Amino acid sequence: MSPLHAVLFDLDGTLLDTAPDLGAAVNHVLVQEGFAPLSEAVIRQTTSHGALGLLRAGLGDELLEELGASRLRTALLDYYSAHLCLGTRPFDGMIELVHWLEEQDMPWGIVTNKPGFLTDPLLAQLPELKGCAVAVSADTLPVRKPDPAPMFYACDKLGVDPAHTLYVGDHVRDIEAGRNAGMVTAVAGWGYLDERDDPALWQADLHFDTVQALHHWLRLSR
């Protein structure tokens, strides 16, 4: 494996545990519409599927379309943007990991399919992550993951070769994006994996069940 010069992370379910706030947003919309809220277990399995995925988990495809998917998605995101960082926290061990990367002069950044109007203010409320050297959102470019363009863009901003970059994510599209860019890829096993997911089929180079295991591996790889 090539020596690593940078580490890139997915955001929701990899770097940050955003499920509490996204879950509160979808449940606010569901209750407003007269439906039962989602359980925490369902929220954590569905958060990586985005706003529509969360709404679909509560309503199903047919009812979601009947009630107006676009309207409900807007309502969810409006509520979420107003309550962006109440329960959201970096995953256990993540602050220590990124600070260690900074001490090693190894740049780190984020490539996410979260829109920039949510990504940027969220990161601004987490000063412990101020060392993030690049943040690429869903709308930074005309395409998003699993297209490799956001990955190449991030590497260009960091001045590193994708082949010497590790990308860590908790969804198959994250691994596809990293592989499409020729990066070293790792599954964030601590993230929002659906019970139907089988990360062994994603063809990632590495799989870590905890942030601490990733940190340990990075220390050994130096």
Q: Which of 10, 17, 170, 174 is labelled catalytic? A: 10
Half-sphere exposure of 108 (CA within 13 A, CB side): 24
Q: Which of 12, 17, 21, 174 is labelled catalytic? A: 12
Whole-model pTM: value is: 0.95
The CA distance from 164 to 1, in Å, is 9
Per DSSP bridges, beta strands 108-111 and 135-136 are parallel
The CA distance from 156 to 162, in Å, is 9
The residue among 45, 54, 63 whose CA lies nearest residue 25 is: 54
pLDDT in tens, the chain (222 residues): 779 999 999 999 999 999 999 999 999 999 999 999 999 999 999 998 899 999 999 999 999 999 999 999 999 999 999 999 999 999 999 999 999 999 999 999 999 999 999 999 999 999 999 999 999 999 999 999 999 999 999 999 999 999 999 999 999 999 999 999 999 999 999 999 988 889 999 999 999 999 999 999 999 998
Whether residue 146 has a cis bond before it, omega within 30° of 0: yes
For residue 174, indicate whether it is catalytic. Answer: no
For residue 10, indicate whether it is catalytic. Answer: yes
